[in-house]
Amino acid sequence: MAEVRLENVCKSFGDVKAVDNISLHVKDGEFIVLLGPSGCGKTTTLRCVAGLEHVDEGKIFIDERDVTNLPPAQRGLSMVFQSYAVFPHMTVFDNIAFGLKLRKASPDQIKERVKEVASLVQIEDLIDRYPYQLSGGQRQRVALARALAVEPKVLLLDEPLSNLDAALRLQMRAELKLLQKKSKVTTLYVTHDQVEAMSMGDRIAIIRNGSLEQVDTPERVFNHPENTFVGNFIGSPPMNMLECDVVEGGSIAIGNFTYKLPESVVKAIRKTKTSRVILGIRPKNITITKEKRKNAFMAKIGVIEPIGEELVVNLTVDGKLLRVIASPSQDLRMGEKVWLTPDTRKIHIFDKKTGKNLL
List residues near another protein by CB under 8 A. Answer: 13, 50-52, 54, 69, 71-73, 75, 77-79, 81, 83, 85, 87-89, 98-99, 102-103, 143, 146, 150, 156
Cis bond upstream, residue 152 (ω within 30): no
By C-beta, is 149 or 324 nearer to another protein?
149
By C-beta, is 94 or 193 nearer to another protein?
94
Tell me how far apart the alpha carbons of residues 271 and 263 are, in angstroms, rounded to a whole number: 13
Taking every pair of Cα atoms in the chain, the longest distance, rounded to a whole number of angstroms, is 78
State the DSSP H helix or E strand holding residue 65, giving kind and residue range, or none if neither.
strand 65-66
By C-beta, is 81 or 257 nearer to another protein?
81
**Which is nearest to 48 in space by CA: 68, 66, 32?**
68
By C-beta, is 81 or 339 nearer to another protein?
81
What's the min distance (Å) between Cβ of 108 and another protein? 20
By C-beta, is 10 or 52 nearer to another protein?
52
Bin 159: left if φ > 0, else alpha if -120 < ψ < 50, else beta: left
- β-partners of residue 289 are 339
By C-beta, is 50 or 317 nearer to another protein?
50
The type of residue at 238 is: P
What's the min distance (Å) between Cβ of 88 and another protein? 7
Alpha helix positions (H), the chain: 42-50, 92-102, 107-120, 136-149, 166-183, 194-200, 218-223, 228-233, 263-272
What's the min distance (Å) between Cβ of 117 and another protein? 13
What's the min distance (Å) between Cβ of 188 and another protein? 13
Helix and strand numbers, DSSP H then E, in the chain: 9, 20
User: Count of residues for the chain?
Assistant: 359
By C-beta, is 144 or 269 nearer to another protein?
144
By C-beta, is 152 or 342 nearer to another protein?
152
What is the 3 state secondary structure string of 250-290?
CEEEECCEEEECCHHHHHHHHHHCCCEEEEEECHHHEEEEC
What's the min distance (Å) between Cβ of 131 and another protein? 11
**Which is nearest to 110 in space by CA: 68, 56, 150?**
150
What's the min distance (Å) between Cβ of 347 and another protein? 45
What's the min distance (Å) between Cβ of 200 and another protein? 21
Q: Which three-class secondary structure state does DSSP give residue 19?
A: strand
Q: For residues 332 and 260, is the Cβ–Cβ distance under 8 A?
A: no
Sheet holding 186-191, edge to edge: 77-80, 154-158, 186-191, 31-35, 203-208, 211-216
What's the min distance (Å) between Cβ of 146 and another protein? 7
CA distances from 351 to 243, 278, 281 (A): 10, 6, 14
By C-beta, is 149 or 301 nearer to another protein?
149
What's the min distance (Å) between Cβ of 83 and another protein? 6
Q: For residues 50 and 187, is the Cβ–Cβ distance under 8 A?
A: no
